[in-house]
Structure 1
Amino acid sequence: MSADRDQEDVSIAARIKENPGPALGWMVGALLLFALEAGAVVHFVTSLLGNPVELPTLLSRELIPNNGYVKPNGVWKETFLGLPAAYAWALRVVLIYAYAFLWLVWLWRGYLVFRENYRYADWTPRDDMVDRLRSHRWGQFGAVIVFAFVVMAMFAPALGPTTVERTISNPYSHYIEYYNDDGQLENVTVGSANLGSRSQGTPDRNVGPMEYDDYGRWHPFGTLPSGKDMFTFMAAGARISLFIGLTSILVSGFIAVAFALVTAYYKGLVDLLVVILGDSIMSLPSLLFVMLLSVVLGDTWLADIYSGGFLLAVIFAGTGWPFLWRSVRGPAMQIAEQEWIDAAKSFGQRPSVTMRKHMAPYILGYLLVYSSMRLGGIIIAVAGLSFLGLGVSPPTPEWGRAVNIGQSYVTTSSWHISFIPGVLIVLVVTAFNALGDGIRDAIDPQSESGEGEGAEVAAAGGGGA
């Protein structure tokens, strides 16, 4: 028993050093996958620093271009292999999602390598959790939609038929070529072409989903009333929604876990103070409070970061941590009453070590469940704020603004402007909730029937949410 314990205390780095083969094989594959898109990562990081660096990238619009023009005889020029713009764009989208799926498979392969070669235990409770999640159809549905949404956000610049810079931010500084009705090749700014591709409710002024405009540009989701490509708008909007959601969840989750551990360990006055603070924030009307803070802080330097996206993330984190804290406070209180916590105290172990090693692992699963569900709520809240003209500042794309822009065209030929983003918002929010359900049922198999001690812990954890 003592020998097994000594083995378990060996660090993962030491285990890999003893048997480096499987880990090195997996690492080589991961580096090859990363190398395919390393240029995009470098460009993104350097763009944040204000000095973007361009490097060759495999899955890019430069390698697989779709922005070309069609000659009067029907032959396409300046597109990938002379394919029609729609086919070139679809090929790039398929390759990007295949690349992302390959990463997913390789990460799963990495988990299997760890389990087979570097984990001393033949079985852990995590194995059963993974098996239950793999058979949870509702959770798998959520995982598929969340995967598609995350890939859209991460690869937004390459997925769109065009770029935000060309069609939204600075359209009059970019040009396209097309053949006019007289068969002459003309050069026109993207902004001028947008004016001729507007969707404004009538059949003669509408570019719907899966259609070309008069300039040979392909629009998978149609165009906006301004003539800007809607798919590019939605892909860029997915990126900012994901940034706000993840940033706010990470910050609020850290605060929630810290307060839950401290209040469960010390109880008494510390718990009372946090309860008063949390309940005070929760008692305020959430939407009105967020709107008030976004207006009051709208002129600060925080609003200049990421077009107001960082400010919204901070606001949602500051107002959302009590809900996550209430969700994990119950499980933390139950863990604090266990015998091994008393034993750690009696041995003089520092409180921070006890909370980190012996308490935190037991509540992180519940935090993951409620964070997944709350992330969907944040996405729909951001869309609601943008619908009201608050939050993310225009012209930065955001899904709620598209719904607002198209609400007067719902019963016209341009129905797609509000309908598509509305459906995507509902689908993504439902998917995050479904994924949260799947994770909950994987962690606690008795939660579906509401029976057993695990269900009681879940009920105690979620009572304040």
Structure 2
Amino acid sequence: MSDQQPSSERGRIRIDGFDEAVEARRDEFDSSPTTLESTTESHRDRLDRRRLRNAWRRFRRNRSATIGLGVIVAMAVLAIVARPIEVSTAQVTVTLQPFSLAPYGPGETFVGPANAPPSPTHPFGTDWAGRDLFSRVLVGGRYTLSIGLVAVVLALGVGVPLGAIAGYFGGWADEILMRIVDVLYAFPFLVLAIALVPILEPVPVLGSGFWTVVVALVLTGWIGYARLLRGEVLSIREREYVTAARALGVPDREIVRRHVVPNAIAPVIVQATLNVGTVVLTAAALGFLGLGLEPGSAEWGAMLSQGRDSLIRGDWHVTVFPGLAIFLFVLSINLVGDGLNDALDPGRDVSDERRRLR
């Protein structure tokens, strides 16, 4: 009876080395405080990569969105290779792009008869000054497409941080920002841009030209992104993972940057993609009204303005081809935006997962 184990030890199976291994593993885990954080980070990275792959797969299945993306890429490539791109300094000139798809420079006059119709020599015809319209449309894509892209990117850079701050922190910051947004929303987008361009032209840094139009479009375009992101952040900041991050003592700046904005940015990206077409149309309208870019530039809206008199005389080609370029680009952007809206829909991941489980 003396050899019997105490009752508290009865029924236990002891495996030599097992308890020591468990203790060593526990000590190793406890001695590295970043293990849990790094594991969570890697898991989140895997989820993000899987979402991106699923979104790209859904986007590729959308035939109209794929065609629209192909048209945009083709127009961008044609604009880049239209004429050589050179950067000049005081002593040297560096050629960044040596190709020249356009047969003439956009400002070369009387390369053919004035207002000549389309022909093998001039596929899009010529304008009132004998300038080749094919060359001007290709080079003009640089102005119009770059204005749309740069203005939207800069407007996102302004609207996204302000919307995130207003939605997450609330209080006086939210109140002040939303009142500013309400005041700016009282003016139509185009009317506000028309009013801002003459105000910005005397600024020495901007002058009259490309950057004047871009800044005017940024000052009128950020309000939509700020309001949209604020609405998304208001719903996301009450989610469980945000509350858990606050309970763990994660700084608010990190919560906004790593948890709130990434989960709220998808509708803003879709809206920004669709707004590229709106910005291009607004830039073309400003050029048509003679605001922004210098007179005689190859920007598509300015070309429409310069061809009004020719159109009245029956020279249809002077305005048809720049207008067709604007129409094709805006249509393609809208198709891509609709495709992104479907691809980035968070409910699609759940439906795809259920479909695989069936």
Q: Is this a same-fold pair by TM over 0.5?
A: yes
State which of 267, 272, 279 in structure 1 corresponds to 2:182: 279
One-letter identity of the residue aligned with 2:105: T
| Shift in CA distance, 357/384, structure 1 to aligned 2, threshold 3 Å | same
> Which string of whole-angstrom CA distances, capped at 9 and with x for unpartnered residues, describes residues 330-366 of structure 1?
2222111111112222222221111111112112222
Q: Distance in 2 between matches of 1:160 and 1:6?
A: 53
Work out whether 1:127 is the aligned partner of 2:36.
no
Work out whether 1:140 is the aligned partner of 2:44.
no
For residues 326-365 of structure 1, the aligned pairs below 5 Å read 326-365=227-266
State which of 202, 211, 233 in structure 1 corresponds to 2:120: 211
> Which string of whole-angstrom CA distances, capped at 9 and with x for unpartnered residues, describes residues 191-218 of structure 1?
4x43x5210xxxxxx2x22432xxxxxx
Cross-structure match for 2:223: 322
Work out whether 1:250 is the aligned partner of 2:153.
yes
Q: Distance in 2 between matches of 1:256 and 1:345?
A: 25
Q: Secondary structure at the match of 2:216?
A: helix
One-letter identity of the residue aligned with 2:57: D
Q: Secondary structure at the match of 2:209?
A: helix
State which of 159, 168, 172 in structure 2 corresponds to 1:269: 172
Indicate the structure whose relative CO is greater, using CA pairs within 8 Å and at least 6 residues apart.
2
Q: Distance in 2 between matches of 1:446 and 1:362?
A: 13
Given that residues 341 and 358 in structure 1 are in contact (C-alpha distance below 8 angstroms), is that contact kept between their aligned partners in structure 2? yes
State which of 260, 284, 297 in structure 1 corresponds to 2:163: 260
Distance apart, 1:4 and its partner CA: 9.4
Q: Distance in 2 between matches of 1:327 and 1:384?
A: 26
Structure 1: stretches of 5+ with no match in the other structure = 11-118, 172-190, 200-205, 213-218, 453-465
| Shift in CA distance, 327/121, structure 1 to aligned 2, threshold 3 Å | closer
One-letter identity of the residue aligned with 2:195: L
State which of 295, 298, 306 in structure 1 corresponds to 2:198: 295
Given that residues 376 and 433 in structure 1 are in contact (C-alpha distance below 8 angstroms), is that contact kept between their aligned partners in structure 2? yes
For residues 394-433 of structure 1, the aligned pairs below 5 Å read 394-410=295-311, 414-433=315-334
Cross-structure match for 2:15: none
| Shift in CA distance, 377/302, structure 1 to aligned 2, threshold 3 Å | farther
One-letter identity of the residue aligned with 2:82: A
Cross-structure match for 1:44: none
Work out whether 1:160 is the aligned partner of 2:102.
yes
Q: Distance in 2 between matches of 1:333 and 1:364?
A: 13
> Which string of whole-angstrom CA distances, capped at 9 and with x for unpartnered residues, describes residues 369-419 of structure 1?
111111111111111111111111123211112112222333655211111
One-letter identity of the residue aligned with 2:56: V
State which of 325, 330, 336 in structure 2 corresponds to 1:435: 336
| Shift in CA distance, 381/120, structure 1 to aligned 2, threshold 3 Å | closer
Given that residues 302 and 311 in structure 1 are in contact (C-alpha distance below 8 angstroms), is that contact kept between their aligned partners in structure 2? no
Cross-structure match for 1:88: none
| Shift in CA distance, 336/9, structure 1 to aligned 2, threshold 3 Å | closer
% identical aligned pairs = 28
Distance apart, 1:326 and its partner CA: 2.0
| Shift in CA distance, 299/268, structure 1 to aligned 2, threshold 3 Å | closer
Q: Distance in 2 between matches of 1:292 and 1:267?
A: 31
Work out whether 1:197 is the aligned partner of 2:113.
yes
| Shift in CA distance, 146/123, structure 1 to aligned 2, threshold 3 Å | closer
Q: Distance in 1 between matches of 2:54 and 2:171?
A: 37
| Shift in CA distance, 123/278, structure 1 to aligned 2, threshold 3 Å | closer
State which of 67, 76, 95 in structure 2 corresponds to 1:150: 76
Q: Distance in 2 between matches of 1:144 and 1:273?
A: 42
Work out whether 1:381 is the aligned partner of 2:294.
no
Cross-structure match for 1:369: 270
One-letter identity of the residue aligned with 1:239: R
Q: Distance in 1 between matches of 2:199 and 2:192?
A: 11
| Shift in CA distance, 329/120, structure 1 to aligned 2, threshold 3 Å | closer
Distance apart, 1:271 and its partner CA: 1.4
For residues 42-81 of structure 1, the aligned pairs below 5 Å read none
Q: Secondary structure at the match of 1:420?
A: helix
Cross-structure match for 1:312: 213
One-letter identity of the residue aligned with 2:192: F
Given that residues 128 and 310 in structure 2 are in contact (C-alpha distance below 8 angstroms), is that contact kept between their aligned partners in structure 1? no
One-letter identity of the residue aligned with 1:229: D
> Which string of whole-angstrom CA distances, capped at 9 and with x for unpartnered residues, describes residues 394-449 of structure 1?
232111121122223336552111111111111111111111110010011769xx
One-letter identity of the residue aligned with 1:163: G
| Shift in CA distance, 299/211, structure 1 to aligned 2, threshold 3 Å | farther
> Which string of whole-angstrom CA distances, capped at 9 and with x for unpartnered residues, describes residues 155-212 of structure 1?
2312211223xxx1xx4xxxxxxxxxxxxxxxxxxx4x43x5210xxxxxx2x22432
| Shift in CA distance, 339/9, structure 1 to aligned 2, threshold 3 Å | closer
Q: Which has the larger radius of gyration?
A: 2
Q: Distance in 1 between matches of 2:273 and 2:206?
A: 26
Cross-structure match for 2:25: none
Cross-structure match for 1:77: none
Given that residues 252 and 320 in structure 1 are in contact (C-alpha distance below 8 angstroms), is that contact kept between their aligned partners in structure 2? yes
Q: Distance in 2 between matches of 1:402 and 1:426?
A: 14
RMSD in angstroms over aligned alpha carbons?
2.5
One-letter identity of the residue aligned with 1:198: A
Structure 2: stretches of 5+ with no match in the other structure = 1-28, 30-34, 84-99, 352-358
Q: Secondary structure at the match of 1:156?
A: coil
Q: Number of residue pairs matched?
A: 298
Cross-structure match for 1:227: 130
Q: Secondary structure at the match of 2:197?
A: helix
| Shift in CA distance, 8/265, structure 1 to aligned 2, threshold 3 Å | closer
